[in-house]
Structure 1
C-alpha cells in the first residue's frame, strides 16, 4: 500500500509515516520509480493491542454543539496539506478549510450529505 494509505490505516499523519520509513522503523519495498510501498504485513506490529473499530470517528459522532447545518457536498479541492470543502445548504453555500487527511479519513465525496458544525460564542446578524 502507499504510505498515505498506511498512515490512514494506522491513524497517523503522512509525515510520521515518511519519518518512520526514512528511519527504517517501517519495512518498505521500492518501486522502479523510487517510491515506497508498504506491505500490509509490515503494519501488523503497530496494530497489535489496538481496539478494533469499524469507524475511527465513531466516538465523535455525538457532540454537544447544536449549531449544525446539514447539506450536500458540492466541491472538494485538495491542495497539499489542506482541503476546501463546500456544502450547499438550501440556496446558500458554506465553505470550510480542513486538513486533507481529514477529508481522506472521512472519505468525503462530492454529492454526499455532510454537516457543518459551528462553534462560536458570538453570532452576528446583518440586514440583507
Structure 2
C-alpha cells in the first residue's frame, strides 16, 4: 500500500485570514456545502489547501483595476504579480513568505526585518515583483504607524 501525501489542511480561523472573510461567513459556506472540508476525529472542520486555492481567484477585488494597481508603489516592472499571503514563517534572520496567485503558489525568502517592517500577516494582499532571479515583496502604500 502506497503512502499518499496528506493534503495541507487549514483550521477554519486560519482559512478565514487567508481568504479574508469572517469566521461566521466561512462556517456558513461549510454548512451550505459551498466549501469542502475534512473532519478531525474530534469533529472539527479542516479546509484543504486545494479548496482555498479554488476560492482565492474568485474572491472579488474591491475597486477598479487601475485604482487597485495604484495602491501599490509605482515601480516600473512588468512582472508584478498580486496575491494573498497564505503562509508566513519567520525564523532567525529569514522569513519565508508563500503567496497564492491565481491558484499557484509562489514562495519568497526575505529578511525577517523586512517582513516585520512591512508588517506582513497571513491573509494580506501583497505584490511580488519578479526580476531575473529575485522576488521582491511590497504591500499597498499606506501610512505606517509604530
Structure with the larger strand share: 2
Query: Quick check: which has more Rg, 1 or 2?
Result: 1
Give the TM-score, by structure 2 length. 0.40
Give the TM-score, by structure 1 length. 0.46
